[in-house]
Amino acid sequence: MKTELIALIEAFLDGEINFETLEQKAQELEVEKTSLQENIEWVKNARLAIEADGLRKQLKSTLATLELEREQTAAKTKVVNMTVSKWKWTSAAAAIIVFLLAYWGMNLETEPELYAKYEYLDPGLPVLMSQSDDHLLYDALTYYSEGNYEVAEEKLLNIQGKYAENDTLNYYLGASQLYLGKTVNANHSLGKVLAKTDSKYKDSAEWLSVLAELKDENTAEAVEKLKVILANENHKFIEEARSLQSDLNKQK
């Protein structure tokens, strides 16, 4: 990957440029749209890995310090050494276990508090394939309704060319990507729905867009997107939005 592209993606992830600017600059660097999303995910994962490595080194340094303290304590009194050493090494071991499980996939990842509190899992469409001529689309949505978001995303992406302007596809593709943790992709897909004023998915897309920011703990972005919902008294998620606004205000 070109260093210029990495710098642009990092600027996007840090909120310094928007997605449209990133996309335009990427085109100037002859980066295809399909590979841009993959590059964004790669940079996000690389940043997490770097943070993890830094924490690993910090823990290693802490262990070295604890070892030195243990030896010094041993020279003073054996009884004190047994008590203090046991507590310190238990704490250090616990820290290492938590660190390893969190970063290396032991399924103990937790969602940000506000995202978990306000998470909305759209149940999908209660439509049988036999009821529609769009068999490919509803085949994908069948997997979505079953909670198999990975397969749903794959199938929806495969037919995206045929249904490029289809709100149903773009909304459920964005929802699948959000539930898979692909927030950048989710915002991009949901943005296509939000660009239309008459979409039947507009309310839900606006709420999922807020959740995407909460999932990434982008509070400022979440607040801005929340204003759109709060301005509409008849919004499908107006009560949830008011409650979230109250929680966000408490954090200030």
The model's pLDDT over 57-109, given as tens digits with 9 standing for 90+, comes to 565 555 556 556 666 655 554 444 444 444 454 555 555 555 544 444 444 45
pLDDT at 233: 96
Angle (deg, nearest 10), helices 183-194 and 202-215: 160
pLDDT of residue 76: 56
Look at residue 227 and tell me whether its pLDDT is greater than 80. Answer: yes
pLDDT, one tens digit per residue, over 175-192 is 999 999 999 999 999 999
Q: What is the mean pLDDT of residues 129-150?
A: 82
pTM to 2 decimals? 0.59
Q: Which of 157, 164, 165, 162 is nearest to 185 (CA)?
A: 157
pLDDT at 213 over 90: yes
Rounded distance between C-alpha atoms, residue 178 and residue 185, angstroms: 8
Q: Is residue 193 within 8 Å of 174, Cβ to Cβ?
A: yes
Q: What is the pLDDT of residues 6-38, one digit of tens each?
A: 888 888 888 888 888 888 888 888 787 667 877
- Looking at domain 115-250, which CATH architecture does it have? Alpha Horseshoe (1.25)
Task: Choose among 13, 8, 3: nearest CA to 45.
Answer: 13
**According to the model, what pLDDT value does residue 46 have?**
73
Q: Are 172 and 204 in contact (CB under 8 A)?
A: no
Q: Domain ranges for the chain, please list them.
A: 115-250
What is the Cα–Cα distance from 212 to 145, expressed in whole angstroms?
A: 20
